[in-house]
Amino acid sequence: MSDQRAIIDIGSNTVRLVVYNGPARAPAVLLNEKVTAKLGRDVVKTGLLSEKAMGLALSALARFAVLLRQMGVSDVDVVATAAARDAQNGPEFLDEVAKLGFAPRLLSGEEEARTSALGVIAAFPGACGVAGDLGGGSLELTAIGSGECGRGITLPFGTLRLPDLRAEGEATLSSQVRKALRSAKWEDGRGETFFLVGGSWRALSRYAMYQLGWPLDDPHGFEIAPDEAIKLCRKAAQGKFDANMPRISSSRLATLPDAAALLGQLVRVIEPSRLVFSSWGLREGLLYSKLDKATRAQDPMLAGVTAFSEGLGVSPSTATMVAGWTAGANPTGFSGDGKLRLAATMLALAAMQSEPNLRAEQAMSWALRKRWIGLDARGRARMAMTVLANSGRIAIPEEFAPLASEEELKQAIGWGLAIRLCRKLTGSAPHAISGTSLVRDDERLLLVVREPFHALFTDSVGKDLRWLAEWLEVDPSVEFSRESVRV
């Protein structure tokens, strides 16, 4: 499945259109556009969606309808959440949406919570803990584990409601949060991961990354310890921000103090083991809910890297052969090595399609800054180190230090040097890869070259073999086998 598909999310704060393409298990964003209509702003006080907010929303939706027709996107899912759900005139508003040619679905609070949690499950295979989605009108909490959603609740703590709560003092907010969780009999999440979803919490992650000098700039997958989170939330709740803080819109900056104050209270009550920010939520949960079991079981990181590399002319089968060839020199030593090494091999080969003076920096940027679903900061650093070594650079950049251990990064250098040797020897030609092999033991790194590929070994290749052997702290050796390989 690679056709374009679209989600329109009619939320309490924003109305957003996202058009996706690419592999079903790792969809890429083709278009992302929103309008801050604040549909839910007056619902608490008046029980109604305001005429102004509805006008802004319908104007945006009319534009979205034209864009989708021009793009030829017919697979469109339109959902509405808390504002339309809670307002007395919500049904009339959705009737107007339908007149634009859409078929809007009003999600219940439980459906909204579960769908957002599915987005987290899709983004973090094996996720276990609690997914918390902070929107304009409500906060959804859902227990997750073993690829399934558990119990979910909806609480009236959206960013449009929080200013009134906080106006009465932090003690009132704390009391209200504790009372609401106690009333809902919520006891999940203690000692587990708290996954944070929603634009205001993503803004908070950017704030935290800036404050901590984090070397990556994608908030997806950013992780922080609870005690550090509480300190940062306390500081952000004061609303005093550095003018140089990057990539936070003025609308999100306005909600940041309230979102931080709420999170600080939730962390104190729930007591999670760690906090992880997710850029996937409701919209991606809708896409994931439509996938069959086999597609859901795919690794999203590999699916994304494969699609990206194929677009640059890298054959997945060839990359798999190169990864298999280099495995002889690099026995695994860390969890998930096989998949990560294959993904790093794909990016390393893709880098060879770039201009020579751009390869190393461009491939490193792909590894560190492109959004790879299912890849954490540790994996990003190891992948980046692999592609750098493939280009002949083995000095570990200082910015990698907080991301992965020195041992892991040194192992990644071995991966990259082995890929480099394979490329230099075989030109990544499948028959040449099959006609050669690399074997390592405690004392020796043996390169075997079979007939009719003896001529592929040159002084230049020998240099790369010695370089890899030296890095692995073994002796290099070459065997020219008379065994013939059918080509």
pLDDT at position 332 is: 56
Q: Considering the domain 300-484, what is its CATH architecture?
A: Orthogonal Bundle (1.10)
pLDDT at position 467 is: 98
Residues 436-469 have pLDDT tens digits of 999 998 899 999 999 999 999 999 999 999 999 9
What is the C-alpha separation between 464 and 417, in angstroms, rounded?
8
Please state, as a whole number, how many other Cβ atoms lie within 10 Å of the Cβ of residue 187: 11
Please state, as a whole number, how many other Cβ atoms lie within 10 Å of the Cβ of residue 244: 6
For 132, phi then psi, to 5°, come to -120, 120
pLDDT at position 1 is: 39
pLDDT at position 244 is: 78
> 156-160: long-range contacts (C-beta < 8 A, 24 or more apart)?
156/44, 156/180, 157/262, 158/12, 158/13, 158/40, 158/82, 158/134, 159/13, 159/134, 159/135, 159/200, 159/255, 159/258, 159/259, 160/12, 160/13, 160/38, 160/40, 160/41, 160/44, 160/136
Pairing of strands 76-80, 105-106: parallel
Which residues does residue 134 pair with via DSSP β-bridges, in sequence order? 139
pLDDT at position 2 is: 44
Q: Is cis: bond before 316, omega within 30 of 0?
A: no
For 437, phi then psi, to 5°, come to -155, 160
What is the C-alpha separation between 33 and 255, in angstroms, rounded?
19
Please provide the CATH number assigned to the domain covering 110-284: 3.30.420.150
Contacts of 53 (CB under 8 A, 6+ apart): 37, 38, 39, 41, 42
In order of 114, 163, 249, 262, 273, the CA distances from 237 in angstroms are 29, 11, 17, 9, 22
The residues spanned by each domain of the chain are: 5-106, 110-284, 300-484
CATH number of the domain at 5-106, out of 3.30.710.10, 3.30.420.40, 3.40.50.2300, 3.30.56.10? 3.30.420.40
Tokens of 116: 């957002």
Residues of the chain with pLDDT under 50: 1-2, 487
CA atoms within 13 A on the CB side of 260: 26
Could you check whether 5-106 and 110-284 share the same CATH topology?
yes
Does the pTM of the predicted model rise above 0.85?
Answer: yes
In order of 40, 45, 104, the CA distances from 89 in angstroms are 12, 14, 15
